């Protein structure tokens, strides 16, 4: 067993477990769903990190600052920095914590 008081100074290990659910995100028709109530959840986040969401062309869509002493989840309401719903398509997310970085992708289907 590892010493419980040992400092975890390997932030890259923590980021390997980060995921986004659901992926792909499938929105229902406007008939079935209230507009604007969709959300994606980032899971297994480190206590403090930054999440940046980009289009596949590299345009920043949204930046989220996560800081929590107990919750490794962060919810994104599928809106960009201007507060508008994002278009369906493929997106890239980057989670950064200290010197560690994880880059992955997800899809939104309508």
* pLDDT confidence of residue 73: 94
The predicted pLDDT at position 3 comes to 54
Instruction: Please tell me the predicted confidence (pLDDT) of residue 93.
Output: 97
What is the pLDDT, as a whole number, of residue 59?
Answer: 96
Q: What is the pLDDT of residue 29?
A: 53
For residue 16, the model assigns a pLDDT of 87
DSSP state of 106: E
pLDDT along the chain (110 residues), means of 10: 54 80 80 64 94 97 93 94 95 95 94
Three-state secondary structure readout of 38-100:
CCEEEECCCCEEEEEEEECCCCEEEEEEEECCCCCCEEECCECCCCCECCCEEEEEEEEECCE
The whole-model pTM stands at: 0.81
pLDDT at 110: 79
């Amino acid at each position: 067993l590892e010493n419980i008081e040992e400092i975890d100074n390997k932030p890259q290990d923590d980021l390997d477990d980060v995921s986004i659910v659901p992926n792909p995100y499938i929105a229902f028709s406007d008939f079935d769903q209230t507009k604007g109530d969709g959300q994606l959840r980032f899971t297994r986040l480190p206590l403090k990190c930054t999440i940046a969401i980009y289009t596949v062309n590299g345009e920043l869509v949204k930046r989220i600052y996560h800081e929590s002493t107990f919750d490794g989840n962060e919810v994104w309401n599928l809106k960009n920095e201007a507060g508008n719903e994002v278009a369906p398509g493929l997106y890239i997310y980057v989670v950064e914590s200290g010197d560690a970085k994880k880059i992955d992708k997800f899809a939104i289907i309508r």
